[in-house]
Structure 1
Amino acid sequence: MIVSCALAACFPLATFAAGQGEERGLTGNDAETQTGYWLRVQREGQLASSHPQTSTPAERELALKRWLDSHNHPIPEYFDQDVGGELGE
């Protein structure tokens, strides 16, 4: 009985010591995942182009016209469910 109580008391210490070498998620000094790396690079702009991309006035005009033309189509009250077809066709 005393031995089992002593072992039970030491169990949390053993699991704590065993977990010291493990890497845990993206917090603190833990290893960074590939996703975390790309999110950080994007956020900090490390790999951003030194040549800014701009659109020409003609491109901006076409984009604005396309956006304005999208408002010419009325939004239907209901969508026809049979228009999309079936799976497996």
Structure 2
Amino acid sequence: MKPHMLNCLGLLLLPLAAQAIEPGPSSPQQHHTEVWLQMQARNQLASNHAQPASPGERELSLQRWMESFKHPIPEYYKEYSTGGKGK
């Protein structure tokens, strides 16, 4: 009974020990990354020049896409081991 009461008391006091994490970047690198992501999301860095694909690039892209349909989708996926026992 006593361990059960101590566990309950510990769980009740747990929120009092939690501390809030300060908002914002934790490093200069994270700050730069967040700035770039915000500029991209706001479309501030979009190119003024259209960048269409060449006919050759479009043909290769279409060819890769069409070849992706040659492989059947298995009914079940096997889980493969990365090593260890049972090789």
The normalised TM-score by structure 1 is 0.45
The normalised TM-score by structure 2 is 0.46
Rg larger for: 1
